Amino acid sequence: MVAPTSKKLFSVTLRVWRQAGPAAPGRFVDYPAKDVNPDMSFLELLDVVNDEITVKGDEPIAFAHDCREGICGTCSCTINGKPHGPGKGIATCQLYMRSFQEGDTIVVEPFRAKAFPIQKDLVTDRAAFDKIQQAGGFISVRTGAAPDANSIPVPKEDADLAMDAATCIGCGACVAACKNASAMLFVAAKVSHLGLMPQGQPERDKRVLAMVQTMDEAGFGNCTNQYECSAVCPKLISHDFIARMNRDYVAALFKSRFQPASNAAAGGGA
């Protein structure tokens, strides 16, 4: 089932961040890779290198990956200084070796941010994103309580814009690319997706306040409008959503001053 290849093979060096555990010191280690097929994905090259390391009796490089088609958001390497590497609008798993050339040294690091502690080698802990979702990234609807789907018309333009935001895969590249390690693009994508839909209106204020508060508590920085986040986003989510979230946040904060204390900003996702 394997096609013979007429492609020209080449050699590269992988310079990979190795770190045995969260508290252990890390360092770069070089791994030469020969006979690289340009049609190979970058992660497939890591597989091959890992098998070589294993046969030698050493521990292979731990890296996060799963679907390998750019949708699960698990893979998370910073390659040559850029989260998800040199491509535009792709995740690490969608990077193919045809993006590199004979003799290249490819520097591979984990996503670096205070809120994403390194667990091992290239694997980081991104549970903070789940915490933010748990604080308010939902519409409270009990199973079985929904009205007929067509009883809530949604203008196509709004649905399309909501979908643009909703394509976020939760990978965290936006955080890794930001000099402040801000999660504003991630949070703005969720806030905008739900805030653009009529179904999301009842909890709109509460949602943005709770999610932003949880984001701040998790140790993410603030946005200073550099837009590195949208430049590396594998789904090309626009930083315009951050402006939208800021408007929602200010409006919600203002309104919350005129409401009984029990309805105000407190987090918690009841």
Partner 1 sequence: MAKLESKVPSGPLADKWRKHKTEIKLVNPANKRKYEVIVVGAGLAGSSCAATLAELGYKVKSFVFHDSPRRAHSIAAQGGINAAKNYQNDGDSVHRLFYDTLKGGDYRAREANVHRLAEVSVNIIDQCAAQGVPFAREYGGLLANRSFGGAQVSRTFYARGQTGQQLLLGAYSALSRKVGDGSIQLHTNSEMLDLVVVDGHAKGIIVRDLITGAVTRHSADAVVLATGGYGNVFNLSTYARGSNATAIWRAYKRGACLANPCYTQIHPTCIPVSGDYQSKLTLMSESLRNDGRIWVPKRKEDRLKKPADIAEADRDYYLERIYPSFGNLCPRDVASRAAKRMCDEGRGVGESGLGVYLDFSDAINRLGEPAVRERYGNLFDIYHEITAESAYQTPMRIFPAVHYTMGGLWVDYNLMSNIPGLFVLGEANFSDHGANRLGASALMQGLADGYFVLPYTIGNYLADQKPGSRPATDRVEFKQAEENVTGMTKQFLSNKGSQPVSHFHKRLGKIMWEHCGMARTKEGLEAALQKIPALKEEFNATVKVPGSADTLNQSLEQAGRVSDFIELGELLCRDALTREESCGGHFREEHQWPDGECKRDDEKYAHVAAWEYQGEGKTPLRNTEPLNYEFTKMSVRSYK
Residues numbered 44-73 forming contacts with partner 1, rule: CB under 8 A? 44-45, 47-48, 50-51, 54-55, 57-60, 62, 64-73
3-class DSSP state of 21: coil
Binders of partner 1 among residues 152 to 171 (CB under 8 A) are 152-156, 159-160, 162-163, 166-167, 169-170
Part of the chain binding partner 1 (CB under 8 A), chosen from 43-51, 177-185, 221-229, 247-255: 43-51
Least separation in angstroms between CB 226 and partner 1: 26
Which of 13, 18, 112, 200 contacts partner 1 by CB under 8 A?
A: 200
242 alpha-carbon distance from chain centroid:
15
Least separation in angstroms between CB 268 and partner 1: 7
Q: Does 227 bind partner 1 (CB under 8 A)?
A: no
DSSP 8-class letter at 239 = T
- Cα–Cα distance measured from residue 242 to residue 212, given in angstroms and rounded to the nearest whole number: 11
Please list, residue by residue across 85-117, b when 16 or more beta carbons sit within 10 angstroms of its beta carbon and e when fewer do: bebeebbbbbbbbebbeeebebbbbbbebebbe
Least separation in angstroms between CB 62 and partner 1: 6
Least separation in angstroms between CB 98 and partner 1: 7
Q: Does 133 bind partner 1 (CB under 8 A)?
A: yes
Which of 10, 17, 31, 41 contacts partner 1 by CB under 8 A?
A: 41
Binders of partner 1 among residues 78 to 97 (CB under 8 A) are 87, 89-90, 94, 96
Q: Does 12 bind partner 1 (CB under 8 A)?
A: no
Q: Does 216 bind partner 1 (CB under 8 A)?
A: no
State the sign of the Cα–Cα–Cα–Cα dihedral 113, 123, 75, 188.
negative
Closest CA to 109 of 34, 35, 173, 187: 173
Q: Does 194 bind partner 1 (CB under 8 A)?
A: yes
- Cα–Cα distance measured from residue 219 to residue 213, given in angstroms and rounded to the nearest whole number: 10
Part of the chain binding partner 1 (CB under 8 A), chosen from 2-10, 77-85, 173-181, 252-260: 2-10
Least separation in angstroms between CB 111 and partner 1: 12
Beta strands in the chain (DSSP E): 10-19, 26-36, 77-79, 82-83, 105-110, 118-120, 123-124
Least separation in angstroms between CB 225 and partner 1: 27
3-class DSSP state of 103: coil
- Cα–Cα distance measured from residue 70 to residue 188, given in angstroms and rounded to the nearest whole number: 21
Which residue's CB is nearer to partner 1, number 159 or number 226? 159
Q: Does 138 bind partner 1 (CB under 8 A)?
A: yes
Amino acid at 114: K
Closest CA to 90 of 169, 178, 14: 169
Which residue's CB is nearer to partner 1, number 135 or number 181? 135
